[in-house]
Amino acid sequence: MTEKLLTRLDRVSALLLLLWTGMALGIAMLAAPIVFHQLPSRELAGRVIGACFGWIDLLSWFAFGLPFLLSYGSRWLAEMKEPGFGPMKLWSAAALAALLMCLTSSAIVNPRMQAIRARSSGPLGTLPEDSPDRAAFNRAHNLSEQLLGLRMLLALGLAAGVFYLPKGKAEPAEAVIKA
């Protein structure tokens, strides 16, 4: 692949990551407070924002998966031949960590929260503080928030780091150090 094509693929990767981060931040920082303030019940507001974050979780697969394929897939053969832990391996490890968080969120945490809501006889806010369902939901909700925050930070780091990935046939590191 040419250096020009790799640069274009890296720009698309950064754009996808930044778009997803902007959407997630927009919902978390703008929409959620407004919805919780405007709607008459916290239960309804939670369902609305939960549905929004359900879409954010779905989109995160594309936001992290496509850049992984575009930026790493185009370079993996060359990187596998080089010893050590270079920028490409660090970037790909961060992208894989983000994809693992996507899997955790969409396959474990969100279904658990939906199951707790489904078996609850009423709004979760009306359950007693010591209710096992309320405690389980709060734990899952906290984990969901943490996973989202970590994915946002990883998206920003990956978007910035994509521009440091190798673009072509560079000199070996030893030659650069000796020169």
- Residue 145: both structure tokens together: 């928030």
Which SS3 state, helix, strand or coil, does residue 79 take? helix
pLDDT tens digits, the chain, 179 residues: what are they?
688 888 898 999 999 999 999 999 999 999 999 999 999 999 999 999 999 999 999 999 999 999 998 888 777 766 666 667 778 888 888 999 999 999 999 999 999 999 999 998 778 888 888 999 999 999 999 999 999 999 999 999 999 999 888 876 544 444 334 44
**Integer Cα distance of 101 and 152 in angstroms:** 11
- The 8-class DSSP code of residue 121 comes to S
**Integer Cα distance of 100 and 113 in angstroms:** 19
**Integer Cα distance of 105 and 150 in angstroms:** 12
- The 8-class DSSP code of residue 138 comes to H
Q: What is the DSSP string of 91-110?
A: HHHHHHHHHHHHHHIIIIIH
| Its pTM surpasses 0.75 | yes
- Closest Cα partner for 13 from 151, 157, 148? 157
